[in-house]
Every structure is written in C-alpha cells, then in structure tokens.
C-alpha cells in the first residue's frame, strides 16, 4: 500500500509505503507499483493500493498498555474478539491484558490458557502476569510476559490485593529477570470508613471512600521499593497530581486514563454508578491539574484501563456496582478531538499513545511512522468529529462514560501491513477476506464498517523478539 500526501503528527506531509508487515519508506513523491488511486487493481498480486490522504492525519497505531479482556471467566462482559474489534475501530493496534481474570494469570498454565484465547485478537497484544499469595513466579516469569502487573496494593475487581512484603518480593523477582512491573497503587488502610456510612444512592461516596491520600501514599511506598531494588516500575492509572509528581520525582513512569483526564466528581450525578472505577473520579480542580501534567509532558502514557461491565451489573447502588468503564475504542478519538481544538498537539497525542509506550516497554518495532517499523497505522480526518454513542461502540458493555462527547474516529486501521478495520460506503468490498461486522456478539458499529481477520500476535513472542533484532 502507498499512502500518499499524509500529514504526520509533526505536521510534515509525506508518502508512506508499506511492504509486507513493515513501513518500507517515508518520503516525498514515492512511486506506486501498478496501483490505482483509492481502490484495487484487478490483479491484487501485482497492484499496489494507493490512498490519497491529502488533508488526513496518519498516526502510528495506539498501544493501550492497560486493558481487561475479561477472558477467561467473564466472556459475557468482553471477549478477545470484541475487545480487539473495539480497539481496531478506535485506531488501537496493540493492547495489553491485565491478570485479574478468573482464574487469575498467576502461573504458567494459566498464562498458556489465556494466550490461546488471545489468538482470536484482530490486533497485537501483550499479556501481563499477576501476583497473589498463590502465584508461581518461577514458571510465570519464564513465559513471554509483557510485564508483571498490574500488581494490586488494594483490592479491585478480582480481589488480588497483596501486602507490602509480597509486593517487595514480587518486584525483586521481576527485576532479577529483567521484567517491568506495573502497579495499581492504593493503600486500603487510608480508605475512609466514614464515607461507607453514606447512602448507596450517593454515587459520590465511592470517591470519598477511596481517598487521594490512599493513592499518593501507595505510590510513594511503591516507588521507594522500586528505587531500592533498581526496578523498572510503572504506575497505572494515576488520578492525582500529587501521585503523578511522586512517581516522576522517583524516576518512575506513569499513565493516566481518559476518564481521569476528562471526567470528575462533577459528572457523577449524570454518570451514576457508571462513574464508579478504581481509583475513583476526583474533584474538578484535581482533574485540571492532571490535565496540565498530561499536556506539559510530565505524564508518560495515556492508557484506558478498559474494564467493561454490563449495564445490568452497573444498575445497582454505588456500594455494590462493579468498578470499571469501557474505553479502548474512544482513547484516540477523544485525544484527537482535544488536539483538533488546539488543547493538545498531535505530536503529544502520538507520544502519549504510541511512541512513549513503545519506548518504555521495549517495543522497538512499534510506536512511530518510520521506515523499518511495523506498519501499525491509523488514518484520520481531523476535520471530521462524530458524537460518541455507546450503542455504536463494539465492546460488549454497550455503553460509554463519554456519551455525547465528540471524537475523531479512524477511517481505517492497519496492523503489520494488513487493514483490519475500515469504514467504507462500498458494500461489496470485503477487507482482507473477512465478513461483515467482526465485533463478535456486540451490536455496535456502523453498517459501512468492515473488519479483517484475527492476525494479532503476542508482542513478546519468540518470533516477534527475533524480528526486533533484524
């Protein structure tokens, strides 16, 4: 494929040529080989598809380092098919699954079982390993893990909270084997039991219960352990400016979620229990301070903590509703809508969602539009924003906390040279031989969408590791 005259994140207009799984060249006036503009020649073996991308934005596919695929254990919430369809429809080309499934991913056998399920993914993926008192580090850390974590310092979905001694032991094991550690940092000893006395209809009670102090102190404790052991420590879903500052002052990396970036306690009356997540939403002033740190380069990564639950599960009081929101499909669309209004630069969006995750987690073939990189690409029309609607998304959740917000969605998404998602008016065209839909049991999406085959690979697999050495 030749993408002609695309605008890159830094504003340069370039042609981008894809050969096989990689970007072959980035330059001006590259020549096609037998291609036809915006279509396909009858002889696809000889022709090269040529896309006129004038006025369009070409970005590296996003790397979402924090998702919950919900398999094994909860396929009614999400499957690898629906997760990856949702990712592809949002321009995400790599996802990293967390270990709090049922059973949790804490030993070699369970990793292998999850890895088999993940072969149904449209996009590339990583699989994290978890830590509980029953974990088997010897066999788990021998598997092709993306990272160890998220390690839970307080219970969340899956009840995998551990104590300080086990946390230190786990970080030590990972560090000795050269594996990064990601941390869900909240100190349950600093939760507010007084807030528990609030009525279940008071949805703000969850934010009052899981306090700012609980996050900040847990981040400080985790970073102290990490520094003492020389660990590569990454703080998941930091929700407070103080927590972000603690992580950065300690030389660690951190991520922020879109919901902590764009939503606050002021939105809870409208969100209801769909606004319950861990860590919880904070005050509007806190949200603004987090946004400043995202915009100024302090925060390393935006990751979604995509954690789908059904509407039925959420339709209860705040003390009994499960924590988590879907988000992988709206990650880039929300950020690009901000960039469209001049609040973030397109380069900053690229760095937060692709270049920085690739650098932090050692994915040398991903994260940038450069010759030799994997052809993980997404094409956007920055002038075309659409209203976000939960019923049109591809997650099994069927809802979104960003209902009614504007998003800039991709026209197509490519993983290692294969188009795995495209919006098209051509009802007869079948992307890479796939059938309509591609969103599993989900009902979302537009009638003019097409999905490709399940081509996802583990980014830590031996074949990918050997390829990275090319």
The answer to whether residues 366 and 414 touch, using CB atoms and an 8 Å cutoff, is no
Distance between CA atoms of residues 40 and 92, nearest Å: 25
Residue 305 is a catalytic residue = yes
Contacts for 232 with CB less than 8 Å, ≥ 6 apart: 175, 180, 181, 226
Backbone torsions φ then ψ of 5, nearest 5 degrees: 60, 40
Phi/psi class of residue 445: alpha, beta or left (left: φ > 0; alpha: ψ in -120 to 50)? left
Omega prior to 72 cis, within 30 of 0: yes
The answer to whether residues 141 and 148 touch, using CB atoms and an 8 Å cutoff, is yes
Distance between CA atoms of residues 148 and 183, nearest Å: 9
- Out of 305, 351, 374, 376, which one is annotated catalytic? 305
Distance between CA atoms of residues 376 and 458, nearest Å: 14
Distance between CA atoms of residues 293 and 219, nearest Å: 17
Query: 461 exposed, middle or buried (CB, 10 Å; 0-12, 13-18, 19+)?
Result: middle
Residue 92 corresponds to which tokens in the numbers above? 């995400």
**95, β-bridge pairs:** 64, 125
Distance between CA atoms of residues 359 and 365, nearest Å: 10
The answer to whether residues 203 and 269 touch, using CB atoms and an 8 Å cutoff, is yes
Residues labelled as active-site residues: 305
């Amino acid at each position: 494929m030749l993408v002609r005259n695309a605008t890159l994140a830094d504003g340069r207009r370039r042609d981008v040529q894809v050969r096989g799984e990689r970007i072959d060249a980035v330059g001006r006036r590259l020549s096609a080989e037998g291609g036809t503009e915006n279509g396909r020649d009858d002889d696809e073996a000889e022709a090269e598809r040529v896309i006129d991308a004038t006025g369009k934005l070409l970005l590296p596919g996003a790397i979402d380092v924090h998702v919950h695929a919900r398999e094994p254990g909860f396929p009614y919430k999400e499957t690898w098919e629906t997760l990856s369809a949702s990712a592809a429809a949002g321009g995400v080309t790599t996802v990293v699954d967390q270990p709090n499934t049922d059973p949790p991913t804490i030993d070699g056998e369970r990793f292998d079982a999850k890895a088999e399920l993940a072969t149904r993914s449209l996009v590339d993926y990583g699989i994290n390993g978890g830590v509980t008192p029953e974990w088997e580090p010897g066999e788990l850390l021998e598997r092709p893990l993306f990272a160890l974590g998220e390690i839970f310092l307080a219970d969340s979905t899956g009840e995998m909270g551990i104590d300080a001694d086990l946390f230190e032991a786990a970080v030590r094991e990972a560090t000795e084997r050269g594996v990064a550690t990601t941390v869900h940092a909240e100190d349950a000893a600093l939760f507010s039991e007084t807030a528990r006395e609030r009525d279940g209809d008071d949805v703000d009670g969850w934010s009052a219960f899981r306090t700012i102090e609980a996050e900040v102190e847990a981040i400080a404790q985790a970073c102290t352990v990490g520094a003492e052991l020389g660990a590569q420590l990454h703080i998941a879903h930091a929700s407070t400016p103080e927590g972000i500052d603690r992580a950065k002052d300690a030389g660690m990396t951190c991520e922020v979620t879109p919901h902590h970036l764009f939503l606050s306690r002021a939105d809870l009356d409208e969100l209801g229990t769909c606004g319950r997540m861990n860590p919880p939403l904070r005050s509007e002033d806190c949200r603004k301070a987090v946004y400043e740190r995202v915009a100024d380069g302090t925060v390393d990564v935006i990751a979604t903590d995509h954690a789908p639950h059904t509407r039925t599960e959420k339709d209860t009081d705040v003390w009994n509703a499960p924590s988590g929101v879907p988000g992988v499909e709206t990650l880039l669309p929300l950020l690009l809508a901000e960039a469209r209004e001049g609040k973030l630069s397109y380069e900053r969006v690229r760095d937060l969602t692709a270049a920085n995750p690739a650098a932090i987690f050692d994915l040398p073939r991903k994260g940038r539009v450069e010759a030799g990189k994997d052809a993980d690409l997404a094409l956007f029309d920055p002038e075309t924003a659409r209203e976000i609607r939960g019923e049109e998304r591809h997650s099994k959740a069927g809802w979104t906390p960003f209902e009614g917000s504007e998003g800039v969605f991709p026209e197509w998404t490519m993983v290692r040279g294969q188009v795995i998602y495209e919006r098209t008016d051509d009802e007869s065209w079948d992307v890479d031989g796939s059938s309509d839909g591609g969103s599993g049991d989900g009902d979302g999406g537009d009638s003019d969408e097409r999905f490709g085959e399940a081509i996802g690979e583990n980014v830590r697999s031996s074949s990918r590791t050997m390829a990275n050495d090319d």
